A and B are shown apart, each in its own frame.
Chain A
Amino acid sequence: MDMKATKKKLGMKERYRALTRDLGWEPSYQDKDAIFPYASYEGIKVHDWDKWEDPFRLTMDAYWKYQAEKERKFYAIIDAHAQNNGHLNITDARYLSALKIFLQAISPGEYAAHKGFARAGREFPGVGTQVACQMQAIDELRHAQTQIHAMSNYNRYYDGFHAFADARDRIWYTSVARSFFDDAMSAGPFEFMIAIGFSFEYVLTNLLFVPFMSGAAYNGDMATVTFGFSAQSDEARHMTLGLECIKFMLEQDPDNLPIVQAWIDKWFWRGFRVLGLVSTMMDYMLPKRVMSWREAWDIYGVENGGALFKDLARYGIRPPKGWDDAEKAIDHMSHQFMLGLYQWSFGTSFHSWIPSDEDMDWLSAKYPDTFDKYYRPRWAHIRKLKAAGTPFKNYGLARLCQCCQLPSVFTEPDDPTLTCHRETVYKGEKYQFCSDGCMDIFNNEPEKYIQSWLPMPALFSELGGDVGAWMNWVSLRDGVDNGDYDGSTDQQHFNEWRGLATSNL
């Protein structure tokens, strides 16, 4: 071999190529289609995987080093948080409802993303794509674990966290988030990338993470802020991957455009429905609010999303089909959700409550066109019932949407006084939906969505409608984990403990 005295100095790109891209080879003992059996059935055409631009050139040595540094900081802070009763620094224990929903519904989604990216990291026939997916796979596992670890200390002192693993598989509202992730994972690798890598991570993540982590910071929750900050640089990588992936598909073949557009339409609407939970958290569940859901939407949805779709227009992509309906729902959804959660609070492993006068004034200032007109009167009525000793409870079963799995609490896009309800018949069976967006998704893939596991009918068929048995089955302790925050054990404990910590009584 020709040994040179001086080595060629490799640029970043060439070096990364030598350390990553060049590792793969064209197989000859096995057929490529047998090695990558899921790469073509979705109809996406890829002519040259080498055209894939690596969104971040991270090698394992650097990965271990950076991530270990972040891990050290993260665990130092949550250890201190646990040791110093950091939970008493939150503004009020009402805040914890948002965390309970997060742990039951979103952290399992991080885990699902971990599995999904591991599969994508194996199934894509290009090394660059595979490595990027693998790194995201291990990052998502990190997020699931850091979230569980950050909330573990809250579980030791407060109700509603203890059965998150049972709630994930059985309780009704977690089905919204899990059906979203199950839907993505049961799709092929390309659609998975659009669903999670693009729609969720790129278009919607700012609407989930920024309000959530800012909410944690505003409300003194050091543990959650820490995992938020710690995850941020991972998220930046993930967003870049999502965008690169969509551009790659669109550049590879013009035939890919209609397929990608249909996925964007579908996953925008799916994601928007999941985010309904965030709207309620922002407008109702944070004792100290960061901004309204409307304000967050204007910044992260309209401005950022608008810029993104403008950028993608050169590929022929138009904004998602449900965009206008989403815009029309923004001033209503958090109120409709919270009213729903309050009336079904017997069946939630977190607390809800009637907003105070001060809360309602804030809401009418933030929603001048809708709150006083449609929602204040309903809260006033509910408050009156509570004062009279006959609190408003709905033990009837909610009608769930066959697609997004949310109860049908939303109104028609153009008539806020009329509940939106759609129905379709497929193979002689009737299916119900909350919106046109959800019905369209069903109609495009009915064979998939007839399989949806609907938790409410399950209550009837498996447990004969016995609410007590259902509560045991979902590990929900009646009178403790559920119901109104006012009068709850969480409220009692928090006030008592905070008193111990801040006074000499």
Chain B
Amino acid sequence: MQIDLRTVAIEPQRNAFDHLVRRFGDKPASRYQEGSYDIQAAENLHYRPTWDPDQALYDERITRIVMKDWYALKDPRQFYYSTYTLTRARQQDTTEANFAFVESRGLAAMMVPDLAATALKVLMPLRHAAWGANQNNTFICGYGYATVFTQPCMYHAMDNLGIAQYLSRLGLLLGDTEALEEGKRAWLNDAAWQPLRRYVEDCMVVRDPFELFVAQNVALDGLLYPLVYGRVVDDDFSVKGGSAVAMLTQFMTDWFDETRKWVDAVLKVVAAESDDNRTQLRQWIADWNCRAAAAMVPVIEIALGVEADEAVAEQVEAFKARIRKTGIDL
């Protein structure tokens, strides 16, 4: 039997804050809406930045992308701080369990030494690439316009840092501090890593927040994650008896699947806004994708040898198909 508890009923005077009523109609607002829309100052800003008097404190014009309303770039995951943190905390539980599983059963030691060495060779320098991604997403959050677009970039930046830290833990588990040092040496000196390092450093001087979004989150990650964590770790290493590595990088695989939905949603809205936007996006994506593909080949070669060219080419095709679905012809 259903029992309805009786409570004192008081009639609310209004449903939501004015700015949300203007956007979404006179109805109760979600917490995502309350925490994301119009909470960035927009008018009557007091001073020009001393670090660049040509721009305003919050400035839509520092990117070549033009939006009538930047708040159109809704995050399909509807992440605000709370839902973001709860989601990552749950994933962290899984990751912790995976690390504990690998460690307690000595799975790392059971891998063929060559395979473990290859895994470290591929993954350790990526700690630094992930740090580069953190820098770039922090930039987009700091200088991008409108909370719906910038807050997921802050979450993304913290995720990039988390990934760099998971990779470091993986290195300490499979190797030791020497593995990390060797990875950094390779990142700085080995020919295989120089195109990627150059790509990342070149990104760090891009100061158009949306171009940076394309270079990092669309073009580079769009190849790096499926290639490294999908093709190399999940497919190749697992077949060779290295599923322990796949367990330790499960977060990266899941994370890419989740975040690409957001990245695609952003591209789709921006491309649909105007022909100019679409043309600009096509050009940026084509340029950066070309460079990213070239940078990935020597990295994938470390694991796949002569098959690297083909693996990268396949992934580039898959990437183009993905981008076409957002309304941008490549």
Contacts and interface: CB of A to CB of B under 8 A. Distances in A.
Contact of B142 (A3, A63, A108, A119): A119
Contact of B138 (A137, A169, A448): A137
A115 B46 contact: no
A185 B27 CA distance: 35
A251 interface: no
Contacts of B50: 41, 186-188, 448
A126 to B, nearest CB: 12
Contacts of A114: 154
B85 interface: yes
A138 B141 CA distance: 10
Contacts of A134: 134, 138, 154, 157-158, 161
Interface stretch (A25-33, A208-216, A235-243, A286-294): A25-33
A3 B81 contact: no
Interface string A6-37: 01101000100011101111111110001101
Interface stretch (B165-173, B265-273, B316-324): B165-173
Given A112-B41, A115-B40, A25 B187 contact: yes
Interface residues of B, number: 90
Given A134-B157, A149-B34, A183 B46 contact: yes
Interface in B32-73: 34-35, 38-51, 57-58
A20 B138 contact: no
Contacts of B180: 18, 22
Contacts of A493: 13
B44 A29 contact: no
Interface in B115-166: 116-117, 120, 127-128, 130-131, 134-135, 138-139, 141-143, 147, 150-151, 154-155, 157-159, 161-162, 164-166
Determine which residue in A23, A34, A63 has the highest number of CB atoms from chain B within 10 A of its CB, and name it: A23
Given A35-B201, A162-B17, A448-B50, A122 B142 contact: yes
A163 B43 contact: no
Given A169-B42, A182-B46, A451-B47, A157 B10 contact: yes
A10 B172 contact: yes
A453 B45 contact: yes
Interface stretch (A139-147, A261-269, A300-308, A312-320): A139-147
B204 interface: yes
A503 B48 CA distance: 57
> B interface, by DSSP: helix, strand, loop or mixed?
helix
B89 A65 contact: yes
Contact of B201 (A27, A88, A158): A27
A37 B34 CA distance: 35
A67 B158 contact: no
Determine which residue in A64, A148, A183 has the highest number of CB atoms from chain B within 10 A of its CB, and name it: A64
Nearest to B37: A165
Nearest to B154: A138
A414 interface: no
A68 B165 contact: no
A108 B162 contact: no
Contacts of B179: 1
B178 A2 contact: yes
A38 B90 CA distance: 38
A34 B46 CA distance: 28
A427 interface: no
B325 interface: no
Contacts of A61: 92, 95-96, 162, 165-166
Contacts of A296: none
B204 A30 contact: yes
B17 A8 contact: no
Interface string B162-201: 1011101100110111111010100110000000011001
A44 B43 CA distance: 32
B14 interface: yes
A118 B142 CA distance: 5
Given A138-B158, A145-B81, A186-B47, A158 B89 contact: no
B148 to A, nearest CB: 12
B201 to A, nearest CB: 4
B207 to A, nearest CB: 8
Contacts of A75: 82
Contact of A64 (B41, B92, B157, B188): B92
Contacts of B157: 121, 134
Contacts of A475: 18
A35 B204 contact: yes
Nearest to A1: B117
Interface in B300-327: none
A38 to B, nearest CB: 4
B104 to A, nearest CB: 14
B49 A185 contact: yes
A199 interface: no
Contact of A452 (B46, B82, B96): B46
B128 A19 contact: no
29 contacts: A1-B178, A8-B176, A19-B168, A23-B168, A24-B128, A24-B131, A60-B159, A61-B95, A68-B85, A68-B90, A84-B7, A88-B10, A122-B139, A137-B138, A141-B81, A145-B82, A155-B16, A156-B14, A157-B13, A162-B18, A163-B19, A164-B17, A165-B39, A175-B44, A183-B46, A185-B57, A186-B48, A448-B50, A501-B8
Given A71-B85, A168-B41, A493-B13, 5 more contacts: A23-B164, A24-B128, A111-B39, A134-B161, A142-B81
